[in-house]
A and B are shown apart, each in its own frame.
Chain A
Amino acid sequence: MITFEHVTKQYADGTVAIEDVSFTVEEGTTTVLVGPSGCGKTTTMKLVNRLEDPTEGTVYRDGTPLSEFDRIDLRRNTGYVIQEIGLFDHMTVGENIATVPRLNGWDEDEIDARIDELLELMDLPPESYREQHPPELSGGQRQRVGVARALASDPDVLLMDEPFGALDPITRESLQDEFLKIQAELDTTILFVTHSIDEALKMGDRIAIFDVGEVVQYDTPQAILDEPKNEFVEDFIGSDRPLKKLKVTQVEDVMSPPTEEVATAGGVADATAPVQSDGGSTVSPLEPTDTALSALSRLVASEDGRLPVVEDGDVVGTVSDEDIRRSNAGDKP
């Protein structure tokens, strides 16, 4: 758990990077810091592993003020993917990942095994990537190595400063998806910086929206979309707020109970069979964990006004555009 309590950071040159910031990151959750350039996101991250110290206020780790930790120990126990990644080009990918375990004095055998494990996790087969040097890798691969390096000694806290920032949209999307899967397997407390509200909504359990130097709203993605605190947040989310809401809403939250006809014999088999879409490609049936947006997009493409929702071969509900519309208006069905 990380707690910021009335934290202000003023740099030596007088710049006040953040002022009176308070929030708490719960154990094992992901909090995304999002806001325009120069609003103090990186500074906030640096305060967590004492690359900077606050001018006023206190940052706590599990209730203990950071000033009571040894800087070096603290940093070796905190994974940090810095904004520029900063891989060591003169070392191999394996040596890069081994950095913190080596500093922590692990056995070489343990380190070897860990390198392979992380490369597998990051979808970079060790046989081909372990001995490469970072300049030989693509941008996306470098980002993965940066994340692997930060995870190497299994830190309690992971700081990621725009880890997917410099990537093309497709690579970015796939890395986000992969990271969401990895994140589900870790019980790490994650602070994630981005300046894209879409990425924040996708990655965060909670989101802290920064305006210059201050946190304007700190809430779950749903709550931020339902009730933007002020005009700044509203502008930041953009005019397509309804669509963004559909992206963070799951089908199971909007669906209606199964109707008679689909629930009766024969209907189930029909509904669970792969649907032939107009393009002729096969689309698997809607699942409760799909986003409302993908449900809507299928509804638009389909001739039926109501689609079955299938879980493990059983129809658990149906969804129509009315269901979706109702949820988007904010009323609970």
Chain B
Amino acid sequence: MLSSVHNWLAYVDFAVEHSDRLLVATLEHIEIIAFAIAIAVPIGVGLGFLITFDDRLATAVIWLAGVMMTVPSIALFGLLIPYFGIGAPSVIVALVLYTQLPVIRNTYVGLNDVDPAALEAGEAMGMTRLQLLRRVQLPIALPVIMAGVRNAVVILIGIATIGAFIGAGGLGDLLFDGISYVRTEMIVVTTVILSLLALAVDYAFSISEQLFRLNNGEQVESSATMRLLQRVIS
């Protein structure tokens, strides 16, 4: 009992004492992920859209993106270093590859989820292919795509830590230090930050996903937060 209180204090002490380093590492971590997502989402959505035109291509692309996810991150970094060098660029490329499955798959599913009759009606009323995409398919697919991105970001927060192994920085640095110097408080505090980060991102995305659904007139089980948001918005 006493020792656990003692531990808690040690963790808090550590967090306070190293707050600067923790903050810098957290920001670095977020930056890497933001970069990766900014690159990955347009690619994934684009591919997801393209494969709606060809079922066989769709199967192949989704399978490939799935295989991607099974390659261990360390191996992937190793394969990328010859092309992108040591450091953040290789890590970002790897992260982009890891997020393709959820983003492509959800885009594909979301776009295909549109009632064929609605598409036919749109075409019959004189919408061009692009107008159909923008006014009918995308609004319906957005919440589903959003769910894919949410999935991807949460995966990335974990995988990005391994990037520290090849000098990309971020919270992974502190984890590796903690392991090398056997400093439990360092490992625990970093892990807590990582988990909080993942939870916060997950929550933020789930809210935006629900907002998209509400905007489409779908029924959404409203949580307290949603009700608050709705009141703020209206």
Question: Which A residues lie at the B interface, using CB under 8 A?
Answer: 49, 51, 71-76, 80, 82, 84-92, 99-100, 103, 133, 135-136, 149
- Bound state CA distance, A92 and B127, in angstroms? 18
CB distance from B5 to the nearest CB of A (A): 54
Contact between chains at B118 and A89 (CB < 8 Å): yes
Map CB proximity to A onto B116-129 as digits: 1 under 8 Å, 0 otherwise.
Answer: 01111111111110
Contact between chains at A90 and B139 (CB < 8 Å): yes
Contact between chains at B124 and A87 (CB < 8 Å): no
Map CB proximity to A onto B94-118 as digits: 1 under 8 Å, 0 otherwise.
Answer: 0000000000000000000001011
Contact between chains at B125 and A84 (CB < 8 Å): no
- Bound state CA distance, A87 and B124, in angstroms? 12
CB distance from B126 to the nearest CB of A (A): 3
> A76 contacts which of B117, B119, B125, B217 (Cβ < 8 Å)?
B125
User: Among the interface residues A85, A88, A90, A100, which one has the most CB atoms of the partner chain B within 10 A?
Assistant: A90
With a CB–CB cut-off of 8 A, which chain A residues contact B117?
82, 84-86
With a CB–CB cut-off of 8 A, which chain B residues contact A73?
126
* Total contacting residues, chain B, CB less than 8 A: 22
User: Could you list 15 examples of A-B contacts with CB < 8 Å?
Assistant: A75-B126, A80-B124, A84-B117, A86-B115, A86-B121, A87-B121, A88-B135, A89-B140, A90-B139, A90-B216, A90-B217, A91-B217, A99-B125, A99-B127, A103-B127
Question: Which B residues lie at the A interface, using CB under 8 A?
Answer: 115, 117-128, 131, 135-136, 139-140, 215-218
- Bound state CA distance, A235 and B217, in angstroms? 47
> B136 contacts which of A72, A80, A88, A149 (Cβ < 8 Å)?
A88
- Bound state CA distance, A73 and B127, in angstroms? 10
Contact between chains at B120 and A103 (CB < 8 Å): no
Contact between chains at A103 and B118 (CB < 8 Å): no
- Bound state CA distance, A187 and B123, in angstroms? 25
- Bound state CA distance, A92 and B218, in angstroms? 11
Closest residue to A131 on the B side, CB-wise?
Answer: B217
With a CB–CB cut-off of 8 A, which chain B residues contact A71?
126
With a CB–CB cut-off of 8 A, which chain A residues contact B215?
90
Beyond the given A75-B125, A85-B121, A86-B118, could you list 6 further A-B residue pairs with CB under 8 A, ordered by the A residue number?
A: A49-B124, A72-B126, A75-B126, A82-B117, A86-B120, A88-B136
Contact between chains at A82 and B124 (CB < 8 Å): yes
User: Among the interface residues A73, A76, A82, A88, which one has the most CB atoms of the partner chain B within 10 A?
Assistant: A88
- Bound state CA distance, A82 and B135, in angstroms? 19
With a CB–CB cut-off of 8 A, which chain B residues contact A74?
126
- Bound state CA distance, A91 and B216, in angstroms? 6
Closest residue to A79 on the B side, CB-wise?
Answer: B125
With a CB–CB cut-off of 8 A, which chain B residues contact A75?
123-126
A82-B120 CB under 8 A given contacts A73-B126, A76-B126: yes
With a CB–CB cut-off of 8 A, which chain A residues contact B115?
86, 89
A100-B217 CB under 8 A given contacts A86-B121, A87-B118, A88-B136: no
Contact between chains at A92 and B125 (CB < 8 Å): no
With a CB–CB cut-off of 8 A, which chain B residues contact A84?
117, 120-121
With a CB–CB cut-off of 8 A, which chain A residues contact B118?
86-89
A103-B124 CB under 8 A given contacts A85-B117, A88-B118: no
The 6 tightest CB contacts between A and B, nearest first, are A86-B121, A133-B217, A75-B126, A84-B117, A86-B117, A76-B126
With a CB–CB cut-off of 8 A, which chain B residues contact A51?
120, 123-124
Closest residue to B131 on the A side, CB-wise?
Answer: A103
CB distance from A130 to the nearest CB of B (A): 13
Contact between chains at A135 and B217 (CB < 8 Å): yes
With a CB–CB cut-off of 8 A, which chain B residues contact A88?
118, 121-122, 135-136
CB distance from A129 to the nearest CB of B (A): 13
Closest residue to B121 on the A side, CB-wise?
Answer: A86
CB distance from A247 to the nearest CB of B (A): 32
With a CB–CB cut-off of 8 A, which chain A residues contact B127?
99, 103
User: Among the interface residues A73, A75, A92, which one has the most CB atoms of the partner chain B within 10 A?
Assistant: A75
